Amino acid sequence: MLLRLDHIGIAVQNVSDALGFFERALGMKLDHVALEEGGRTEVAFLPVGGSEVELVQTHDPESGLGKFLAKRGEGIHHLCFEVDDIHAALARLRENGAQLIDETPRVNTSGMQYAFIHPKSAHGVLIELYQKPNS
């Protein structure tokens, strides 16, 4: 079951430049900026209501995000929904013929499980599902 929209990932060339729009012009509140994936990715977190906008910059042109930027330019990269049972969610997708990028969930250092659905199955939308640890 989908609980909520956790975040919208927006691919940007430069996080500082993008904050000039999203923070100063649009008036979103910046929570923090973090380096992730060993410094290869820079992310600005802007909570709004119960969700979050994440501005994502990569320092690796060969990454998925780097290729997305080269091909499509800046814009929305993915949506992430929180689910209560990621294994059940992936099973349901599989039963209904959806193409998964991750057949089984990946686990990050915080114990969070996550998996991506291929945009070919999802009407052009890259969708991430995640389940909190111990939920």
List of residues contacting a copy of itself (CB under 8 A): 1-5, 8, 10-12, 18, 20-22, 24-28, 48-51, 55, 72-76, 79, 81, 89, 92-93, 95-98, 117, 119, 121-125, 127
Indicate the burial class of 30 (C-beta count within 10 angstroms; 0-12, 13-18, 19 or more). Answer: middle
Comparison of 2 and 35: residue with beta carbon closer to a copy of itself: 2
Q: Name which of 109 and 121 has its Cβ closer to a copy of itself.
A: 121
Pick from 10, 12, 7, 52: nearest CA to 28 = 52
As measured in angstroms, the least distance from the Cβ of 90 to a copy of itself is 11
Residue whose tokens read 């599989």: 94
Q: How many residues does the chain have?
A: 135
In the complex, minimum distance from the CB of residue 58 to a copy of itself, in angstroms, rounded to a whole number: 14
Beta strands in the chain (DSSP E): 2-11, 32-36, 41-48, 51-58, 75-83, 106-107, 113-117, 127-131
Q: Find the shortest distance in angstroms from Cβ 24 to a copy of itself.
A: 5
Closest CB to a copy of itself among 87 and 92? 92
Q: Which residues pair with 5 in a beta bridge?
A: 81
Shortest CB 128 distance to a copy of itself, Å: 12
